A and B are shown apart, each in its own frame.
Chain A
Amino acid sequence: MRNLSTVFLLFLGFGFLSAQNKEKDTTKIIQLKEIVLIGKKAAIYQNQAKSLGSIDEYLNKSSRINMIKRGAYAWEPIINNMATERTLVTIDGMRIFGACTDKMDPITSYVEVTNLSEATVKDGQSGSLFGNTIGGSIDLKRNKSSFGEKKLEVQFQSGFESNNSQKILVSSVNFKNDIFYFDLDVMSRNAENYSAANNQEVLYSQFNKLNFSNILGFKIKENKLLETSVIYDKATDVGYPALTMDVSLAEALITSVKYEVIPKNSTIENWESKIYFNTIKHVMDDTTRPNVPIHMDMPGWSETFGFYTKLTYSFDKHHFLVNLNSFYNKSLAEMTMYPNNPNENLMFMLTWPDVRTLYNGVFLEDTFNVSKNSNLTLNISLGNHLNTVTSQFGLESLQIFYPEMSDKKNRFLKSFGANYHFSKSGFHYHFGVAYSERAPSVSEGYGFYLFNSFDGYDNIGNPNLKNESAFESNFSIGLKKEKFRIKANASYFYFYDYIIAKTDSSLSPMTIGANGVRVYSALENAAILNTGLSFEYFINQFFTWNIQTSYALGKTNDNQNLPFISPFSYISSLSFKKNKLISEIQFVGNATQSNFNPEFGEDQTPNFAIVNINAGYTFKFDKNDLMMKIGVENLFDKNYSTYADWNNIPRMGRNFYVNLNYGF
């Protein structure tokens, strides 16, 4: 812990020193967010190497985001080394909650790259716009047209990946005119088992997915817009090689209606209101696995109703943002075990006892232009979070552990932050401090015998947990010149009542072969430090060299390592661009994971480095374009896994791919 603080202080010192060199300039002020371009937008503006890569692959490009991988599908994003419970992932501001007790269905698994245009990544408390977060937020923005000159676009895309015979098919139709727009896309992915290095097949890593997305926009009046949106996503026969169970069905329906006003010549810039509903069904079972000690089904359901209304307005030197948001979620999950003796009754329990969460919150932000070169952003978020256990069966189950437990638990959540930005003649500096709180997740508060196959413990929720809170400070410093860009950033989170499951040796594990039982509890304190450094060098008009590194530390109050904290990692690439040809060679690697904790099922992950190469070319025909991307990942067929690969599952070996995009 002490070491951690020292490192952090060093970084701060560096930051303050750099801030001394102030000069006057009129460069646009940089906001504290990162945009990951996805889908068509990315293909056009960023010349993405692999336009039909998964959304996980896109997000993984951000230095702030890592991915916990339980297989080839549905990776769990971690922001600033914090996983789902401490972060906030939304789709166009909509709150959606996965229906899997084992986090096999992060929100990102229910959308597709073709639905999305970009992902806005915000660090820490500054991501609290749509709810409470400590680690940060990702808002996935839908891909849609805007009103304009009448235009109809039809595109067909297809992709193939050699390693797991993944076949990707997409067709999309986009239409727009002055008062109406319509976007439709349908995508299917179909993959077989992938192979690690040396053609070692990773069993149960197959998946199938169908995704349908539609947006309709109507101009009601000048400056007034009504928009409806639907996403239907259905994944079947999804294997999770790192787990003991697979998913026969993961189905989501995500719907919304939005009303937006963009007044002209007004201090109000934009007023947007949305109501939404989404429903998720997730069916986890081990039917296809041989030699299981006992066969079990674990279906889960999650339904969320919500709304928000967001207003931005400016006057004088202030830019205000107000957002009122509410959601009502229902989370229910069951477990049924089938005894080997068929005459015995089924063993049944509720693993999520029909927990309803009602959240009502307000977020206020003011960005104040201190000078031409600098601004100060202050924000505050207040929310009321009410959990109700609706199932009597589930309540009585939990009362086995907590006899005095009531079916309701109300929490008041608050957070506030201040961020200062300064930029001049290519130099950029940012410093921020914040305080944030979060409520325990459904699993942390109410989970009942949830087996964690990483540490091998059954986990029991704890409805009496205090809110987790964190003080955060972050800074970044950057310099942009004609020839190069350099940026360093660091963030430090100091937690109070850090929620984590602790072993209770008096309890007997339910899962056959489990190491024991852990009950969610809290560490008095914990700390996480994230650092990153990126450098981009424009060698000449054709070549660009880029390097991104990151390093993090996470410690408990007795100086133990927190789980899933990234070791030193790097991506370096040399890209070439000339006319319609783009090409890139990429080195990706991690240093040996030296800060791991066997207590949480971690072992030391050795270092690795892999090489990826890709190239793309756009063929122009009379009226139509054909864009072709080809590439090879893990060129040298290295056998490796990263610190975030569940149970050290080996990553994909050499993989050739081709993506085609035909538009007319």
Chain B
Amino acid sequence: MKPYFKKIAILLVATIAFASCSKEVNETEMNELEGLTKIRELSNSTHTIELYSKKGELTVGFNEIKLRILDNTSDIFVKNAQVSWMPVMHMMMMNHSCPKSTVEKVADEGNLYEGYIMFQMAENASEYWDLTIDYTINGVDYSITSEIDVLATEKRTVNSFTGSDNERYLVTYIEPTEPKVAINDMKIGVWKMENMMSFPMVNDYTVKIDPRMPSMGNHSSPNNENATQSNPGDFYEGKLSLTMTGYWKINLQLAKADGIILKGEEITSNVESSSIFFEIEF
């Protein structure tokens, strides 16, 4: 009686585990594109790579990008690739890259890979971005390079400047993507330009924020919290309180760990705006 019972129990557990597992796969496959819009396809002779984002376009600032790799012959999405990317701006006099993340698989069972790229400038008539995606499948290396469109935004979300320490910095607005009249969780990215192609994240600084409404007497809001890092390598997180809808200018100051201000000015009755700021309108 006893061993028999045990066998049934094992069988039962295995069935449940298997059932729930296969269900997950289906749901992942079905849902992984939900809320995403295709930006464009890049292809070579063997594969087609589809780029996705929420907005369906790439703009100046922080872009969360998802992609999947289609095997052109088998018509099956590749689930086990190692992927990396390199965006490059081709300017008249030089080329440079921008801050970017590694590319990781979203879910083991799914087809999507994700990462971010922070474009600090838009394309124009004579200058353009391209994106190289290098990927390895079962030990074989592949690569695709293709021109991409990076559009300008109406509102400023990126500050690119030389700090008082003579280093070049990039300070970028990440969240809230949908600001509310409330205390919003704010996320900011801070990178240093080590050279034309390398932009490591800066650690242990503070981004001081001071939201203002220039159309309404340049008033501020209470209970904001400056953005700081929880752990090295993280984005900077703070609290942004917005007391009404409309156009807000979020004045910034970038401070080192010792408190020295690298860039930006405090808002006073004489100083209406800092030299570095973000703009939002909702």
Interface on A for B, CB 8 Å cutoff?
293-294, 335, 337, 339-341, 344-349, 393, 396-397, 399-401, 403, 448-449, 506-513
Nearest CB in chain A: distance from B212 CB, A: 8
B181 within 8 A of A: yes
Question: Is the CB of B12 closer than 8 A to any CB of chain A?
Answer: no
Q: Mark B204-215, 1 if CB is under 8 A from A, else 0.
A: 000000000101
Main secondary structure of the interface of A (DSSP, over half): loop
Taking CB atoms, residues of chain A closer than 8 Å to B91 are none
Interface string of B147-186 (1 = CB under 8 A from A): 0000000000000000000000000000000001111000
Q: Mark B231-253, 1 if CB is under 8 A from A, else 0.
A: 00000000001111111000000
Whether, in the assembled complex, B282 has its beta carbon less than 8 Å from a beta carbon of chain A, the answer is yes
CB distance from A32 to the nearest CB of B (A): 46
The answer to whether the Cβ of B219 comes within 8 Å of any Cβ in the partner chain is yes
Closest to A506 in B: B222
- The smallest beta-carbon distance between B250 and chain A, in angstroms, is 14
Contact of B245 among A346, A403, A507 (CB under 8 A): A346
Of A340, A393, A511, A513, which contacts B181 at CB under 8 A? A393
Provide the bound-state CA to CA distance between A345 and B155, in Å: 13
Closest chain B CB from A292 CB (angstroms): 12
B216 at the interface (CB under 8 A from A): yes
A337 CB contact (under 8 Å) in B216, B223, B282? B216
**For residue B218, which residue of chain A has the nearest CB?**
A508
Among A344, A348, A449, A508, the residue within 8 A (CB) of B215 is A344
CB pair B181–A344 under 8 Å, yes or no, is no
Q: Are B216 and A397 in contact (CB under 8 A)?
A: no
Identify A345's interface contact among B221, B243, B245, CB under 8 A. B245
State whether A396 touches B182 (Cβ < 8 A): yes
A401 to B213 alpha-carbon distance, docked (Å) = 18
Given contacts A293-B217, A508-B220, contact A397 B243 (CB under 8 A): yes
State the Cβ distance, B72 to closest chain A Cβ, in Å. 46
Considering only CB atoms and an 8 Å cut-off, how many residues of chain B contact the other chain? 22
**Considering the chains assembled together, what is the distance between the CA atoms of A400 and B223 in angstroms?**
7
User: CA A152 – CA B7 in complex, angstroms?
Assistant: 98
Asked if residues B245 and A400 are in contact (CB atoms below 8 Å), the reply is no
Contacts of A449 in B (CB 8 A): 243
User: Which residues from A are CB-within-8-Å of B27?
Assistant: none
| Complex Cα gap A546–B180 (Å) | 62
Contact between chains at B244 and A349 (CB < 8 Å): yes
Bound state CA distance, A593 and B186, in angstroms? 52
Q: Which of B180, B217, B222, B223 contacts A512 (CB 8 A)?
A: B217
- Whether, in the assembled complex, B29 has its beta carbon less than 8 Å from a beta carbon of chain A, the answer is no
B141 within 8 Å of A by Cβ?
no
Check: B281 CB closer than 8 A to any chain A CB: yes
Within the complex, the shortest CB–CB distance from A350 to chain B, in Å, comes to 8
Which residues of A have CB within 8 Å of B183? 396, 399-400, 403
Distance in angstroms between the alpha carbons of A396 and B223 in the assembled complex: 13
Is there an interface contact between A348 and B246, defined as CB atoms closer than 8 Å? Answer: yes
With a cutoff of 8 Å between Cβ atoms, the chain A residues found around residue B215 in the complex are 294, 337, 339-341, 344, 347
Mark B262-282 against chain A: 1 for CB-CB distance below 8 A, else 0: 000000000000000000011
The closest CB in chain B to the CB of A507 belongs to B222
A347 to chain B, nearest CB (A): 3
By a CB distance below 8 angstroms, the chain A residues around B281 are 344-345
One of B181, B217, B220, B247 near A396 (C-beta < 8 A): B181
B247 near A349 with CB under 8 A, answer no
Q: A345-B282, A510-B216, A512-B216 are in contact. Are A339 and B247 (CB under 8 A)?
A: yes
Residues in B whose Cβ lies below 8 Å from that of A512: 216-217
Q: Determine the chain A residues whose CB is within 8 A of the CB of B245 once the complex forms.
A: 345-349
Closest to B241 in A: A400
Known contacts A339-B246, A393-B181, A510-B243; is-contact A400 B216 (Cβ 8 Å):
no
**B267–chain A nearest beta-carbon distance, Å:** 10
Residues of B within 8 A of A341 (CB): 215
Bound form: Cα–Cα A403–B182 in Å:
10
Cα-based distance from A506 to B220 in the complex (angstroms): 10
**Beta-carbon contact of B222 and A347 below 8 Å:** no
Report the minimal beta-carbon distance from A294 to chain B, rounded to whole angstroms: 6
Give Cα distance in the complex from A396 to B219, angstroms.
19
Q: B243 near A513 (CB under 8 angstroms)?
A: no
Residues of B within 8 A of A510 (CB): 213, 216-217, 219, 243-244
Asked if A396 and B180 make an inter-chain contact with CB atoms under 8 angstroms apart, the answer reads: yes
What is the CA–CA distance of A507 and B241 in the complex, to the nearest angstrom? 13
What B residues does A293 contact at CB under 8 A?
217
Q: Is the CB of A294 within 8 A of B219?
A: no
- Kindly report which residue of chain B lies nearest to residue A395, judged by CB atoms: B182
Cβ–Cβ contact A337 & B221, under 8 A: no
Question: Does B182 contact A400, Cβ atoms closer than 8 Å?
Answer: yes
- Closest chain A CB from B266 CB (angstroms): 14
A498 to B126, CA, bound (A): 69
Check B246 against A401 for contact (C-beta < 8 Å): no
Closest residue on chain A to residue B281 by CB atoms: A345
- Once the chains are docked, how many angstroms separate the CA of A507 from the CA of B219? 9
**In angstroms, how far is the closest chain A Cβ from the Cβ of B203?**
28
Within the complex, the shortest CB–CB distance from A636 to chain B, in Å, comes to 44
Complex Cα distance, B246 from A513, in Å, reads 19
| CB proximity of B82 to chain A, nearest CB, Å | 43
Distance of A178 Cα from B222 Cα, bound (Å): 66
A348: B residues at CB distance < 8 A: 181, 244-246
